């Protein structure tokens, strides 16, 4: 079935209205901790951070020109539960 011009125009107007709303799009289901952790690492690596896994549960994060910091997996879990899951 072919779509007429008026149907195409109606759909494009509808999409423009969705894009103009000031409400941020919100994911309905939160991702698991593992996926959130890996996506976060990849995002920070694109910005220049280097991650080194020293021991199970201990991560060193190095930024160019800054002092390296150590974080544990428990720190990441607290951030996941406190900041990320609170958005859902």
- The owner of tokens 């976060």 is 40
The dihedral built from the CA positions of residue 35, 40, 46 and 48, taken in this order, carries a sign that is: negative
**Ranges of each domain in the chain:** 29-87
Nearest Cα residue to 59 out of 79, 32, 68: 68
> How many contiguous H segments (helices) and E segments (strands) does the chain have?
3, 3
Please report which confidence band the pLDDT of residue 88 belongs to, taking 50, 70 and 90 as the band edges.
confident
Q: For 16-71, how does the pLDDT look when each residue is reduced to its tens digit (9 = 90+)?
A: 555 566 665 566 788 999 999 999 999 999 999 999 999 999 999 999 999 999 99
Compute the residue count for the chain: 88
- The owner of tokens 């289901």 is 29
């Amino acid at each position: 079935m072919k779509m007429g011009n008026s149907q195409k125009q109606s759909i494009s107007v509808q999409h423009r209205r969705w894009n103009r709303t000031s409400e941020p799009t919100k994911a309905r289901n939160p991702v698991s901790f593992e996926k959130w952790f890996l996506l976060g690492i990849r995002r920070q690596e694109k910005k220049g951070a280097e991650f080194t896994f020293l021991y199970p549960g201990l991560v060193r994060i190095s930024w160019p020109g800054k002092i390296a910091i150590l974080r544990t997996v428990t720190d990441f879990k607290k951030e996941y539960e406190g900041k990320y899951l609170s958005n859902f």
